[in-house]
Amino acid sequence: MTTRAGRSFTRSRSTDGSRDSCAEGCRCRRLRATGHRTFITAAGARRRVRERALRPARHGPPARLRPDVRIDVRTDGGRPIYTITPTLSSPVGSVVYAHGGGWVNEIALQHWQLAAQIAAESATVVSLPISPLVPFGTAAEVTERVAALVVENRERYGPTCLAGDSAGGQIALSTALALRDDGIALPVTVLISPAVDLSWSNPRIPEVQPTDPWLGVPGGQVLSDLWRGDRELTDPVVSPLFGDFAGLGPLTVLTGTRDVLNPDAHLLVAKARAAGVEVAFTEIAGQLHVYPLLPTREGARARRVIVAALREAVRRP
């Protein structure tokens, strides 16, 4: 279902043997084969945290991305910030992108590909901060760091938006709320399958859980408890769903129904609209967590929605 300004329609995933169905099915089988236990079981989550503490993952960009962007890097407080700039057009404004990965996994190829697509097709600069993750980072320090980057980008590039997927969606929305508190309403914040309530208490989650091959409450609770640091799970810096949305800039939210975070996306949209926030909501039946990052037909459609939302927002008068 896609909605904006009171209009809506529902779209189901392909069932005709297309690449969309095949790719999704193959991915599901691969996830089941590997167990994907980092996000499903508590033991798997603890094991991944220990692995990342002992052997931090690589965060650099792929050797080949796309020819119409340039990647630069600088450090701030000892942490890298990558910048992707389009080379075939004059960029307008910028986007700060917070990548997902359950607050424990580093930036992945799909994040780089989406960020590069946004830069090239939205004709804007994209900043990718590499933030400290669990067990070394917490929600409060990362939110503060990302907010500072948005303020810096506004001064350097002009209108600046936020975007993030999954755990990065939590970071993006918590940051947008913090900036609103400082008097800054962003042109748009794009949230892809966002984690917005780290208490995992939505009563509809058990209904969706059997259909989600990727995420699970036990693993999510372990990672959420580490990520919150000394904050309560209901602190908006940790769980932005508990924040006051009044005065927040527009939101673009994308979610699939085979995602345990989908029920919270509905609460997010309802609460934001009740607070007077403009929300563009896309929900696709049968799609998985972070489906816009997947190499499927629906994923490609979603990426076009994301690109269009950001391109328009940075140019809005």
Q: For residue range 199-254, what is the model confidence (pLDDT) as tens digits?
A: 999 999 999 999 999 999 999 999 999 999 999 999 999 999 999 999 999 999 99
Lowest-pLDDT choice from 29-38, 55-64, 202-211, 220-229 = 29-38
Phi/psi for 238 (5° steps) reads -100, -50
Q: What percent of the chain has pLDDT over 90?
A: 86
Predicted pLDDT at 317: 85
Predicted pLDDT at 13: 40
Predicted pLDDT at 241: 98
Average pLDDT, the chain: 91
Predicted pLDDT at 31: 39
Distance in angstroms (rounded) separating the CA atoms of residues 211 and 134: 27
Residue 20 pLDDT exceeds 50 = no
Q: Mean of the pLDDT values across residues 247-263?
A: 98
Per DSSP bridges, beta strands 189-192 and 160-165 are parallel
Lowest-pLDDT choice from 32-36, 131-135, 155-159, 281-285 = 32-36
Better-predicted residue by pLDDT, 296 or 29: 296
Predicted pLDDT at 12: 40
* pLDDT interval class at 289 (50, 70, 90): very high
Residue 26 pLDDT exceeds 90 = no
Predicted pLDDT at 175: 98
Residue 132 pLDDT exceeds 60 = yes
User: Three-state secondary structure along the chain?
Assistant: CEEECCEEECEECCCCCCHHHHHHHHHHHHHHHHCCCCCCCHHHHHHHHHHHHHCCCCCCCCCCCCCCEEEEEEEECCEEEEEEEECCCCCCCEEEEECCCCCCCCCCHHHHHHHHHHHHHHCCEEEEECCCCCCCCCHHHHHHHHHHHHHHHHHHHCCEEEEEECHHHHHHHHHHHHHHHCCCCCCCEEEECCCCCCCCCCCCHHHHHHHCCCCCHHHHHHHHHHHCCCCCCCCCCCCHHHCCCCCCCCEEEEEEEECCCHHHHHHHHHHHHHCCCCEEEEEEEEEECCHHHCCCHHHHHHHHHHHHHHHHHHCCC
Q: What percent of the chain has pLDDT over 70?
A: 88
Q: Which of 204, 142, 151 is nearest to 170 (CA)?
A: 142
Residue 160 pLDDT exceeds 70 = yes
Predicted pLDDT at 1: 57
Residue 131 pLDDT exceeds 90 = yes
* pLDDT interval class at 36 (50, 70, 90): low
Predicted pLDDT at 39: 83
Amino acid, res. 176: A
Better-predicted residue by pLDDT, 77 or 162: 162
pTM score of the predicted model: 0.91
pLDDT tens digits, one per residue of 84-119? 999 999 999 999 999 999 999 999 999 999 999 999
Q: Mean of the pLDDT values across residues 270-289?
A: 98
Residue 263 pLDDT exceeds 60 = yes
* pLDDT interval class at 38 (50, 70, 90): confident
